[in-house]
Structure 1
């Protein structure tokens, strides 16, 4: 095409921005609509092959429909006995039969042994969704007709309502907190008024696109989304899009500094940053995709959902952002000048000098500190958290459960379900009754109601066992384990143990299995990507080992913080796996940014000088990216759930530890100490030496100012 017929250089950037504006206008609202296809029903996320899941399916033969029970608890206002009000309580709660949302008839009100409380179980439909809270209010209103009593609601339905309240407004509040944190940090990093707004606009467009894709997948039943996945998606996209944007804008500033015009600078920025951005995005996306190997549905959902978010973030950073930079040019950095960005690079010159002079001392001290921190990881208890620690603030369902446990066996209202062959009914009942930790056992009839003798359905019988311990404790899970051991040993009984506590037990076991399967897969995927990117074997192995060490050090610190500062006795079983996937994949991101630049400079100046230049030119950029990502994940702390607070701390602290210690000190010092051997088995051979000569003329001078 002759110059006369070439389209104006600004046409492509304008077209790209127009496309993203349309995407933002049409798909942006989906960022607030994921709640329409989300579910917080934990039964939907049970392990596929677990025994409790099979029991849940088999129970349908014993009752008309699956239920979501709420436990109604009455205590006297004056603290006296309430057993005299039992008949009234039974009558008012029975009046709910047939009401909208009910899945059957409530149980009679039963007194506690101390006669200070009454309880009744009201079965609700499990598919109420947004109608669950109004249904519970009708239950409460009916129960409050018993004079002289105080009413509390406990059980799975009440807990699910409090979970929904915790996630209410997640779209607006979480996004606002994350974007505000990013904006403040970007203003400090860029010392520019316009560029932070451009970066945030790109992140918001990416989030809108990602949410629209996830909405379509969830609406067609291809993935399940709950509030946790929804919140993590928002944080992941905002953080990743901003990280990639920092790399692209820093490259564009370098090109403007050496005299390129705005269009050439934007093209060069994309060309030189795209390999690192794509490798980083591929690492995180494939690491998340590995979650598809999980036996837990919410883990499997996070895999493709997170990968979609990362892909959209990379797409925005490599299209919308360069287009905006091409049109704005130096004006994007105003009032700062591209050649004199935020502050001087004296700090990173000093860090690089220290690493260059005393690499062995630097890596020895950094490695020792990380190993000391890692020792604490052995004390982290990931066997789940009790209900009273699930929420980080007071909620009614927790208070009700605590009151229930003071007056009734702690497992009352949340029974362990046993299903076995009818021919072995007597042996099964005796075995359940004699198992340590069981307070009582009741046979049920065809509709799941208590019966004097078990009634067979399709040759099977059903029992409900009340545990002495609260259903969400390790003691109750130990009771489930003992029941299974004893019942599985009965020849011909074909007994299965399910119920809420068994579901928790199976979830814990599935999480342990997932860690054993997924962790090696993620490490292998990351190693392969690094080998392909860096054309070496030694460096990728080194990087994978360092980010794995960073993860164990973070867990060690987290164990102390959770126990001594947050007052939490343990973590959800999925927390270590989520923390591993995010920290290892995202930690490799920063090492990719560093080592891809080191390799580029090494081709021109050799390994030793390449390390120094790579560290100086990427120091401010990567540290800023780490601070941004840590701040966005810390925003998860606004959701009052221990699980997300723990994830927020692990990722935020781990990212800062990685950017400030591992990537800034440990990795450069190890590479400097190893020298050219670190590029084994290729090494800076003759072909690469020729590349150095060819690249010398294109070399961008080491800046006199920080590139952050």
Structure 2
């Protein structure tokens, strides 16, 4: 039995005269039943999930610090008090009343608050900045506390403060004459980060849906057709959401708000694409086949293989994120791959069933009809038969140009993409969480005040711990000798191990910056030498370093390790899938090569936009891996859909003509699909979260390059250049070229 016959049988199963209603009913029962029986993904979100493995050096050091130096076992919120021109006595008295209240009636998750109310005025003033305008009050909270619980505690703190002072210092401007207060430090950053993603969920969903609807209406000019992909995606989301919630409730995976936000974009963008692949083919067959049922079966048999292959490619590529050690990468794998899997099933079952019910009405008011139907309608209504519509003249010109001058087309595309890719190595990366926040975000404003009035390292001190073996070691002198150290505390002995000594160190730079992370190996080297070693000992032998800077250093190292594993894994998986589907090693090589070139071009052009137009000094270090997985997997979607059409046509016509017709037939659907996918990722650029803005820009640019350069020009040109070798080692019997086809498509071609 041929593949075409198998897909036709499948089409009758999901979209036959009776089975179409069964298919729709099954989806309704699935969506409704799962939503009622299983918890939602949102209810299972854990935005405090660990990102680093337990054996990572900074994690081990944190555990050691919590055990031996329990006074530092919590996580601080830094209350930054500031009044331009200098603090007044009344300001200090008000702050003392706040610490008194917090000591007498602690917040739910509060551990420690400095007893400023017990300090005499002169001693308290010694804690202020040099110009007497700023005071930093650390309030220590329980480590591992839920973000929502911390947010509630901070809101309670602000309410109590406003009541005690008779005014709300958290609403006052930091550069004004009033007393202002801001919550910064690890707790403030954590609460702000989660709040940004949660506030973005609804706006992201609404923006994505509206964008998809508008683009579909502009392209197809049919309100019914515009709703079909939205309905398909909606049902898929209604099934995916409780499934992810259930899997998370079983403890098999962790989900967070960031993953769910991007999953929504992916579902609508990629899901709509899969629907359009079938819808476009259905519309084309309706112009050739009078019977709508036969037309739908033909459309299913022609497009379902490519849709299934495209979806499977993306699913496996996203599952490669399970190889990651970094938690944020790992947490993306299951929600993303499961959403694409369910959406692929919906586009192959629910969408055909909906099209079977609606038939030609799906395209109202521009209903596709055969020439015979148009003549019958004209005879019945007395209206003239509309002229036959031909492919867009530009499609004809471009496809003919590709066939006639493939070397010129390929070299032009390579030069364009190569120039853009040359900017990729110039990208600067950062792991600074604060830099991704809007400038008016509270924790970022608080840090700005600290950086201006104190050493910026006060925001997140580093704890350096030494195993002295009972020897006299002047660790403080070795630390103070480092040029990037601003302040070193007195040594403190361990609680259970007195030979363990700890120092709190403040840097003279932003502790979240890349420069600060680069100092961590130098700390290890300096401390090993202070202990009498060579300075090349392994971290954790005698020296341990904890704190936010050490955590971010390990984050960068873990991310680099994951990139070296995930990127090759994705390439290998896609190569194997393409090899099985196309049975051509040569085609696999140049299809993957073109998508990789497109990826680096997207990074380069994205950097030009982000750096020179938006003024950003760096992009988040996680973005290249995220963008790679999405762009390579989704880019191959379009290649698969187009190349499969060329492969099919090459069995019955010369390759040059197959390329021309394949490009023309796939052009409109891939262009519309690419615009929708790029648009959905571009919606991320409207959010107040810089990491999502940058990710959205780079991914959208990559999709557009695939849509308008790689797919319509580079891939078909390479196929034309390689000729029969494109199929090697698969079997291919060339059909003699028609001379008109070589002349640019005149005559039959």
- What TM-score, normalized by structure 1, do the two folds share? 0.89
Cα deviations by residue, 1:176-235 (Å, 9 ceiling, x for unpaired)? 111111111111222222111111100111112122221112222222222221111111
Judge which range, 565-574 or 266-275, deviates more.
Answer: 266-275
Cα deviations by residue, 1:353-391 (Å, 9 ceiling, x for unpaired)? 11111111111111111111111111111233462x312
Judge which range, 54-63 or 640-649, deviates more.
Answer: 54-63
CA shift at 1:81, angstroms? 4.3
Q: Equivalent residue for 1:315?
A: 345
In the TM superposition, what are the counterparts of 1:6-155 in structure 2 within 5 Å? Answer: 9-27=16-34, 33-41=40-48, 44-61=50-67, 62-63=69-70, 66-76=73-83, 79-81=85-87, 86=92, 89-90=95-96, 92-97=98-103, 99-109=106-116, 110-125=127-142, 126-143=144-161, 145=164, 149-155=179-185
- SS of residue paired to 2:506: strand
Q: Equivalent residue for 2:424?
A: 377
In the TM superposition, what are the counterparts of 1:382-421 in structure 2 within 5 Å? Answer: 382-385=429-432, 387=434, 389-421=435-467
Q: 1:474 and 2:480 equivalent? A: no
CA shift at 1:529, angstroms? 0.9
In the TM superposition, what are the counterparts of 1:452-531 in structure 2 within 5 Å? Answer: 453-458=492-497, 460-489=500-529, 490=531, 491=533, 494-531=542-579
Unpaired runs of 5+ residues, structure 1, are 1-5, 444-451, 690-701, 703-708
Cα deviations by residue, 1:63-91 (Å, 9 ceiling, x for unpaired)? 27853311012223x51245886576345
1-structure distance, mates of 2:556, 2:502: 25
In the TM superposition, what are the counterparts of 1:412-431 in structure 2 within 5 Å? Answer: 412-421=458-467, 423=469, 426-431=473-478
Q: Equivalent residue for 1:162?
A: 192
Q: 1:654 and 2:694 equivalent? A: no
CA shift at 1:511, angstroms? 1.5
Q: Equivalent residue for 1:619?
A: 667
CA shift at 1:295, angstroms? 1.7
Judge which range, 141-150 or 10-19, deviates more.
Answer: 141-150
- SS of residue paired to 2:110: coil
2-structure distance, mates of 1:430, 1:292: 45
Cα RMSD, aligned residues only: 2.8
- What TM-score, normalized by structure 2, do the two folds share? 0.85
CA shift at 1:92, angstroms? 2.5
Q: Equivalent residue for 2:263?
A: 233
Q: Equivalent residue for 1:200?
A: 230
CA shift at 1:50, angstroms? 2.4
Judge which range, 314-323 or 193-202, deviates more.
Answer: 193-202
CA shift at 1:327, angstroms? 1.4
Cα deviations by residue, 1:277-335 (Å, 9 ceiling, x for unpaired)? 12111111111111112121010111121110110110110000001111111111111
CA shift at 1:558, angstroms? 1.1
1-structure distance, mates of 2:648, 2:354: 26
2-structure distance, mates of 1:66, 1:223: 27
Q: Equivalent residue for 1:582?
A: 630
Cα deviations by residue, 1:436-490 (Å, 9 ceiling, x for unpaired)? 31222225xxxxxxxx742443454433211111221223223323212223454
- Equivalent in 725, 728, 739 of residue 677 of structure 1: 725
| Aligned CA distance change for structure 1 residues 91 and 207 (closer, same or farther; 3 Å) | same
Q: Equivalent residue for 1:290?
A: 320
CA shift at 1:253, angstroms? 2.1
- SS of residue paired to 1:321: helix
Unpaired runs of 5+ residues, structure 2, are 1-11, 117-126, 167-177, 371-387, 736-744
Q: Equivalent residue for 1:190?
A: 220
Q: Equivalent residue for 2:713?
A: 665
- SS of residue paired to 1:120: strand
- SS of residue paired to 1:121: strand
| Aligned CA distance change for structure 1 residues 628 and 32 (closer, same or farther; 3 Å) | farther
2-structure distance, mates of 1:392, 1:220: 36
Q: Equivalent residue for 2:383?
A: none
2-structure distance, mates of 1:566, 1:293: 34
